[in-house]
Amino acid sequence: MADRRLQVFHAVAKHLSFTRAADALFMTQPAVTFQIKQLEEQYGTRLFERRHGGISLTPAGDLVLSFAEKILALSDEMETRLSEMTGEMRGPLLVGASTTIAEFMLPRVLGEFNAAYPQVRARLIVANSESIEGRVAEHTLDVGLIEVPAKLAGLTSQICCEDELQVICAPDYPLAGMKSVTPKALADYEFISREPGSGTREMTDAYFLKHKVSPDSLKMQMELGSPEALKGVVSTGLGFAIVSKAVVDKETQLGELVAIPLNPCLRRSLYLIFQESRFQSRLTATFIEFARQKLKEMAS
């Protein structure tokens, strides 16, 4: 197992923030600071320049980072290969997913995977697509499931399924009687949007721009951080939102919300992302293939 101090150093170096590294590692900030101080004392040199407003790597810190990435990757590979010698699929699996996928698609996938491989300890981290992509790049997640292709260097994106986005509103909202709605027509109504960094937000902004409607021209009422929050506000009649069709199946069946197809239809691909250069364990590879197959079945 790699020195814990190297793991902490790697997180701080990637985030360039003690606070964000502590959050990613589920540690307190003082604990992270103490580990870095110990590492600096061991090597007798400063690894970070502390200044007002942030930190940066020193030349020594750059050198340690290059070796830390190699050491951590080799440590992961060693532990995985040793566990695989038993012939059993076992050990931790760190999965990250954007909010929509985590809340409405992934629970069934993880449940069936656990039933097939009971010795695996899956841990799910939920955040928006941008955050999940960053954590996969920082090696704090084995695999991520997000709503847009990865943008960061060193990551591989594989399409796992297709998803349709639709307009939702309250049954008594003026849009409710429409069989479909165009982007230009939506500009006349109050819009409840996902937050910047959300894959859904990125897709809807691009959709409006493609059809000659500036996102800035929309009657934005508020930005919210989850599909559940969107549904709650929309149900009050304050405005419309655009969400995955899978998000509102229950509410539309109960008559609590109305779902209206966009015209033209807005479909997107959902992506599995992982490190392209990192050693991929049999466990991670098995989960990627399992999730891809199950999500395709659910979307069909």
Q: Residue 223 burial (CB < 10 Å; 0-12/13-18/19+)? A: middle
Q: Residues in the chain with pLDDT < 50?
A: 1
What confidence score (pLDDT) does residue 128 get? 87
Q: Sort residue 44 into left (φ over 0), alpha (ψ -120 to 50) or beta.
A: left
Query: What residue segments make up the domains of the chain, in order of their start?
Result: 4-84, 88-300
Instruction: Give the residue among 263, 240, 284, 297 at the shortest CA–CA distance from 117.
Output: 284
Give the 3-state secondary structure of residue 253. Answer: helix
Contacts of 198 (CB under 8 A, 6+ apart): 98, 99, 128, 129, 130, 147, 225
The enclosing H or E element of 226 equals none
Q: Which residues pair with 223 in a beta bridge?
A: 193
Q: Are 222 and 193 in contact (CB under 8 A)?
A: yes
* Residues 88-300, CATH architecture: 3-Layer(aba) Sandwich (3.40)
State the Rg of the chain over Cα: 22
Q: Amino acid letter at 128?
A: N
Task: Among 1.10.10.10, 1.10.150.20, 1.10.10.2160, 2.40.110.10, name the CATH number for the domain at 4-84.
Answer: 1.10.10.10
What confidence score (pLDDT) does residue 231 get? 95
What confidence score (pLDDT) does residue 23 get? 82
Q: Are 2 and 72 in contact (CB under 8 A)?
A: yes
C-alpha atoms less than 13 angstroms from C-alpha of 242 in its C-beta half-sphere = 35
For 29-42, the pLDDT digits (tens) are 999 999 999 999 99
Instruction: Give the residue among 43, 36, 44 at the shortest CA–CA distance from 15.
Output: 36
What confidence score (pLDDT) does residue 86 get? 63
pTM (predicted TM-score): 0.64
